[in-house]
Amino acid sequence: MSVNVLHFRHQGRAQWGVVRDKLITPIPGVFETTADFIRANRAETLVALGPVINEAEVELLSPITQNQQFLCQGANYRQHMIESGMNPDAKRFNMIFTKAPGCMAPADSDLVRPRRVRFLDYEIELGLVLKRDITSRQAVTNANLHEFIAGAVIVNDYSARDIQIPEMQFYKGKSFRTFGPVGPYLCLLEPGDIPRLRQLDLTLTVNGAVRQKDSTANLVYGPAETLSELSEVQDLYAGDLLSTGTPSGCALSIPSPAKQRIAALLPEAAKWKMFMKVQAGRSQYLRAGDIVEARIASADGSIDLGVQRNRVVDEAA
């Protein structure tokens, strides 16, 4: 059975605790990083005993500490790919990029829009947390995936589209501070829970209106094949975060393939002027005062990653 864990600060001290019915049972021990916590604790060994703290009395911390790697998959839901002008049945590559770990933030953080950013977008994603180090090529399968995945979290991959798209780079446009809230809970999974990672419902609302809604059943590249691929390329460590892609419904408007071919014939300045004009007509981009809420859970509630809530604020002058 899965166990929800909270990373929090109470009476000036950072701690970890098991959460049930909004009550936290602190876990004995000092764990400075997510890796320290993952290596010392397993879902099957955590028992909610001892004194409890009301969740409302604590300050949330990100369950993934900023020393960990923040890896992401792009265009990984079937409908999002179709919306983006791609054919999911013809896709021949898994799109991987990274966000700066410094953009990780607690689940209830304000989302700060930098002064130079006009087109601020949202992306709810299922985040997977690694159980152990991977320092050589691995054949990860659905049968042994439990040996590599410790748990799951909610991630919002916020993006500055007017930097990401015209500058043709993901890293900078997606890595401003506060652009990667994580949590609130780290849901530790037992081996029997792992198949349910492909049975979770994702919902994102802005000011109460649903913008994104999908199921992890519609992921194009699953966790096992993605970890196999990543293990060919780089080392991974316990506590590292893999964000698995976003469903359709983002604010970004992507031109059809035909329009993209026409735009490619234009001078650079004219092409990006047209892009900015199209995006400026999109009312979906976030503004100061908007409230973004993200939820991920199984239909029966046996896996529930909680609710992430961010208020959009403009960077101070």
Q: What is the pLDDT of residue 91?
A: 82
CA-atom Rg of the chain in angstroms: 20
Q: What is the pLDDT of residue 49?
A: 66
Backbone angles phi, psi at 239, to 5 degrees: 95, -15
Q: What is the pLDDT of residue 50?
A: 73
Task: Say which residues have a Cβ less than 8 Å from residue 8's Cβ, sequence separation at least 6.
Answer: 14, 15, 16, 17, 24, 58, 59, 60, 61
Q: What is the pLDDT of residue 48?
A: 61
Q: How many residues are recorded in the chain? A: 317
Q: What is the pLDDT of residue 302?
A: 93
The 3-state secondary structure of 219-264 reads ECCCHHHHHHHHHHHCCECCCCEEECCCCCCCCCCCCCHHHHHHHC
Average confidence (pLDDT) per 10 residues, the chain, 317 residues = 95 95 93 97 79 94 98 94 86 94 98 97 98 98 98 98 91 97 97 96 98 97 97 98 96 78 79 87 96 97 97 95
Q: What is the rounded end-to-end Cα distance, in angstroms, of the chain?
A: 48
